[in-house]
Amino acid sequence: METQLLVFDTREEAVAALRELERDGVDASAITVMSSEPLHLEHDGSTAGAAGASRAKSRISGYGIAGGVIGATLAILLTVLTSKSVGIITGGMPIVSPWAFGIIVFEMCALGAILVTLGRMIYESGLLTRTTAESYDDAVSDGKIVVAVCLAEEGLGD
Amino acid sequence: MSESRLTDSKINSDLLAPVNKPGRGWYATVTVSALVVAAALGALVYQFSNGLGVWGINRPVFWALDITNFVFWIGISHAGTLISAILRVTGAEWRRPVTRCAEAITVFALMIGALFPIIHLGKPQLFYWMVPYPSERGLWPNFRSPLMWDFFAINTYLLGSIIYLYLPLIPDLALLRDKSSGLFRRLYGALSLGWRGTQLQWDRLERAVRVMAVIIIPVAVSVHTIVSWDFAMTIRPMWHSTMFGPYFVAGAIFSGIAALILAMAVIRRVFRLEAYLRPVHFNNLGLLLLTMSLIWFYFTFSEYLTSWYGNAPEEMSVFRSKISGPYASMFWASVICCFVIPAPILAIKRLRTIKGCMIASALVVIGMWLERFLIIVPTLVQPRLTFNWGAYRPTWVEITLTAGTFGYFVLLYALFTRLFPIIAVWEYKEGLPLGEHGEPTVVDLTDAELERA
């Protein structure tokens, strides 16, 4: 397997090249489009270009909700268990105050959602992996659109 | 209408110029603000060596300028993340050059605001005792205390705001990585997490930013509501009010927008970003500021009218001290700065220029600081029992520390602009109306056309 980087000046050129690759039967999963801004190629009807975005369904929102639930649960455990463990003498009055604790639960719910959303975004977008010369071209930063095609060596000649 | 047409390379060079060649204005700003910070550090060292007695606080005023600064800076923090999140959620296209200026304000203002409860501890090195966990030191973490709520709210907001600032910064960090060399290349490389700009990465980034924007709005509202409850949950005269939450939130957004306008005006001037921070942005923010000025006036009027109409003796003593007593000059100055002058400037289209917005914003920032002081000190000076009444006069230490907060804010902000693009490069490019590089762009449109877009 070898990766070839194709550099285009404009979006039209890149879309035309993607259509050509599609016609040649290159699998969408073998194509990665890189740019200095979101291109939203799905609007051009290019399945190869859009493939990068839609290859896997995003679960960021779902994970964000799950993070909120985890944060809220931890907050309940922190406030209730901590208050009960101190053993303060209250003369039979309740030590757990749901209304007051609810504020802390709300904040930690939000914190959990934020942290898990960040983690999931990093995971889904494949960040924290090393950028190699084969998989990236600095021309992206100059506004060029770079199409990386990963093919078996015999296919590259075509 | 600008003659120049923006290409990718021009946008890159314009928006990265503050990072690459900051200019004399930047060095002058850093030098002056660093001197102010140095003076404040001197005052802080003096305070730590001599104790809190060097402040003007005494019974019954145990909190004065420090909590004024705390509330003020937490309020200023509402400039950024909240406004940016609202603009993102509502899809306001004109937000693009504004969001990062705003988000950075939030982070630095929160950092400064959160310092004051620690400075006020007397033994600030023991601040970690406030962290609530099942206690091995026999301390009882009182989760019913509004100060404990503050701890959670501010830390959540600070962490959330840093992440909310960082996420849209990742593509620009990759841009800086590609454009720099040596140590900076390694630094930006590490911070950009291996960003390549694939469509999958863009898709996930935009999703995550949208989710964050939705989460951060209620957090921002909760933060200043909780700060207001530090006061409203007591039964002190003119504090124990059900409307303190929204009153504080409105005031926070008000002062936040003013700070944002000031920051944008300075950035525009110092870094020659006239083509990007345009009159239309100041016009729109000026209208927001006008709205908040009217809301602030409405809340203030409602709050004071209710106290006056109730005529409770302990409330009236505080009320009179503000309206016609020792604090009257500050009170009326606050009304003039927050409403009487800014409202007409911002309401009359001919006056709502960049300069007009700057003048109005500067007055609002001053007025809102006075307002925070007036909420706190007169009530503390005159508690319910008259035998316990006192007086308060700040010392040079408190005044220097207060000036230091402004210097520190400017210094942090200036350093941020030196390290990171203060306008989101990719967001700006994405917002070019025709989406074609080299074609007519935002800069080529008149303000009226941009507003329509």
Is pLDDT above 50 for B434? Answer: no
Mean per-residue pLDDT, B123-132? 77
In terms of CA atoms, which chain A residue is nearest residue B222?
A107
Lowest mean per-residue pLDDT among B173-182, B265-274, B429-438: B429-438
Is pLDDT above 80 for B192? Answer: yes
Q: Is A138 exposed, middle or buried (0-12, 13-18, 19+ CB in 10 A)?
A: middle
pLDDT in tens, B278-324: 999 999 999 999 999 999 999 999 999 999 999 999 899 999 999 99
Q: Annotate B370-432 with DSSP letters as a single string.
A: HHHHHHHHHHHHS-SSGGG-------HHHHHHHHHHHHHHHHHHHHHHHHS-SS-HHHHHHT-
Are residues A61 and B132, on separate chains, in Cβ contact within 8 Å? no
Is pLDDT above 60 for B226? Answer: yes
Tokens found for residue A1: 């397997």
Nearest-CA distance A108 → chain B (Å)? 7
Beta bridge partners of A149: A4, A31
Residue A153 and residue A1: Cα distance in Å, rounded?
6
Counting the structural domains of chain B, the total is 1
Mean per-residue pLDDT, A119-128? 92
The single-letter DSSP state of residue B194 is: T
Is pLDDT above 70 for B218? Answer: yes
Q: Is B138 exposed, middle or buried (0-12, 13-18, 19+ CB in 10 A)?
A: exposed
User: Please, are residues B91 and B373 in contact by the beta-carbon 8 Å criterion?
Assistant: no
User: Please, are residues A18 and A48 in contact by the beta-carbon 8 Å criterion?
Assistant: yes
Percentage of chain B beyond pLDDT 70 is 92
Q: Is residue B198 part of a domain?
A: yes
Is pLDDT above 90 for B132? Answer: no
A110 in contact with chain B, both atoms CB, cutoff 8 A: yes
Are residues B197 and A36, on separate chains, in Cβ contact within 8 Å? yes
pLDDT in tens, B36-63: 999 999 999 999 899 888 998 888 888 8
Is pLDDT above 70 for B343? Answer: yes
Residues of A in contact with B436 (CB under 8 A): 10-11
Compare B415 and B432 and report the one with higher pLDDT.
Answer: B415
In terms of CA atoms, which chain B residue is nearest residue A106?
B219
Residue B194 and residue B342: Cα distance in Å, rounded?
47
Does the global pTM surpass 0.95?
Answer: no
**Domain at B341, CATH number:** 1.20.1630.10
In the stretch 47-66 of chain A, residues with CB closer than 8 A to chain B read 49-50, 52-56, 58, 60-61, 64
Tokens found for residue A45: 């009807």
Domain regions of chain A by residue span: 2-57+131-151, 60-125
pLDDT in tens, A53-64: 555 688 999 999
Residues of A in contact with B154 (CB under 8 A): none
pLDDT for residue A158: 47
Q: What is the mean pLDDT of chain A?
A: 84
Mean per-residue pLDDT, A79-107? 86
Q: What is the mean pLDDT of chain B?
A: 88
For B406, the domain range is 23-132+146-452
Compare B1 and B328 and report the one with higher pLDDT.
Answer: B328
DSSP SS3 for B1: coil
Mean per-residue pLDDT, B185-190? 92
Max avg pLDDT among A6-10, B362-366, B435-439: B362-366
Mean per-residue pLDDT, B245-268? 93
pLDDT in tens, B1-43: 343 456 778 888 888 888 888 888 899 999 999 999 999 999 9
Nearest-CA distance A110 → chain B (Å)? 6
Q: Is B295 exposed, middle or buried (0-12, 13-18, 19+ CB in 10 A)?
A: middle
**Mutation for testing the B interface, residue in A13, A132, A141, A147 having most B CBs under 10 Å:** A141
Nearest-CA distance B140 → chain A (Å)? 7
